[in-house]
């Protein structure tokens, strides 16, 4: 359901649409599929999706903001169905975007893919973290540290935290069946972030652009299973 919803979001993200409209569409989709929006009401969060535009990193609150050609829009969705949570995000270009923005989007997706590839039994959690960090930094991008991925299951956020940085070969051993939400946030400029006065929206300190991709993944014996692919 989460992957389907992100495909709907991909079709709806275009110049002229408001982030509030995207939220309405997502909420209607979730409810019509008999599920519950995971984010709405979570610590008072007011919407069903997060929509984080350009310099916004994560947790942007949908509203009257109109997407413009050349923007990049991070759309993060989560649902609860039959007692279990699933969480995923993608950063979409709005129409044609500049080279740097496309590079940011591609690198963030690649960093996530490299992290996911480590989600197999016998590895350590730190192998995921290091794969994400090294992929990002090889491409000259910085990695946000204040926000991290997480275990997921009967709650949206469970242990362990899944940092997007740190040394390999450390942290808890990965075991088949663990469910992890891996979610790198990469910046074109510095890695520092701050929270806007709305109490939610995380932005880069230098106001340069940020990308965010997330998948919910099961650790496997031989290979990872991407639940939200």
Find, among 92, 88, 68, 64, the residue nearest to 78 by Cα: 88
18 secondary structure, DSSP code: B
CB of 154 to Co ion, least distance (A): 15
Determine if the peptide bond prior to 198 is cis (ω within 30°). no
60 secondary structure, DSSP code: P
Does 111 participate in binding Co ion (rule CB under 5 A)?
no
Question: What, of Co ion, ligand MF3, none, does residue 115 touch, CB below 5 to 8 Å by kind?
Answer: none
CB of 181 to ligand MF3, least distance (A): 6
User: What is the DSSP track for 121-182?
Assistant: TTSBHHHHHHHHHHHHHHTT-EE--SS-EEE-SSSSSEEEEE-S-S-TT-SSBP-TT-EEEE
CB of 218 to ligand MF3, least distance (A): 17
CB of 178 to Co ion, least distance (A): 15
Whose CB is nearest to ligand MF3? Answer: 45
Rank residues 29 and 223 by Cβ distance to ligand MF3 and give the closer one: 29
- List beta partners, residue 51: 75
CB of 13 to ligand MF3, least distance (A): 17
Stretch that binds Co ion, among 38-46, 47-55, 59-67, 86-94 (CB under 5 A): 86-94
Rank residues 116 and 181 by Cβ distance to Co ion and give the closer one: 181
Does 87 participate in binding Co ion (rule CB under 5 A)?
yes
The number of CA neighbours under 13 Å toward the Cβ of 80 is 15
CB of 223 to ligand MF3, least distance (A): 24
Question: What, of Co ion, ligand MF3, none, does residue 45 touch, CB below 5 to 8 Å by kind?
Answer: ligand MF3
Residues 104/209, Cβ–Cβ less than 8 Å: yes
Rank residues 48 and 97 by Cβ distance to Co ion and give the closer one: 48
Rank residues 59 and 118 by Cβ distance to ligand MF3 and give the closer one: 59
User: What is the DSSP track for 161-173?
Assistant: EE-S-S-TT-SSB
Does 181 participate in binding Co ion (rule CB under 5 A)?
yes
**Alpha-carbon gap, residue 118 to 126, rounded angstroms:** 9
Q: Which residues bind ligand MF3 (CB under 6 A)?
A: 39, 42, 45, 50, 59, 76, 78, 87, 89, 150, 181, 183, 214
**Alpha-carbon gap, residue 107 to 136, rounded angstroms:** 6
- Give the binding site for Co ion (CB under 5 A): 87, 181
């Amino acid at each position: 359901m989460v992957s389907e919803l992100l495909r709907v979001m991909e079709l709806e993200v275009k110049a002229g649409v408001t982030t509030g409209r995207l939220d309405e569409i997502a909420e209607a989709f979730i409810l019509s599929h008999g599920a519950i929006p995971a984010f709405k009401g979570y610590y008072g969060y007011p919407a069903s999706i997060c929509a984080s535009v350009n310099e916004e990193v994560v947790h942007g609150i949908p509203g009257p903001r109109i997407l413009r050609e050349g923007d990049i829009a991070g759309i993060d969705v989560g649902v609860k169905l039959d007692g279990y949570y699933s969480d995923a995000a993608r950063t979409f270009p709005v129409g044609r975007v500049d080279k740097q923005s496309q590079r940011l989007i591609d690198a963030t997706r690649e960093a996530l893919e490299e992290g996911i590839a480590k989600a197999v039994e016998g590895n350590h959690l730190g192998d995921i973290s290091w794969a994400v960090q090294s992929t990002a930094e090889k491409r000259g991008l910085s990695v946000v540290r204040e926000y991290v991925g997480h275990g997921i299951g009967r709650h949206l956020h469970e242990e362990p935290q899944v940092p997007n940085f740190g040394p390999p070969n450390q942290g808890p051993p990965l075991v088949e069946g663990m469910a992890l939400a891996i979610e790198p946030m990469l910046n074109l400029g510095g890695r520092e972030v701050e929270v806007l006065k709305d109490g939610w929206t995380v932005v880069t300190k230098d106001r340069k652009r940020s990308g965010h991709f997330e998948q919910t993944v099961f650790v496997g014996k031989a290979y990872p299973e991407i639940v939200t692919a």
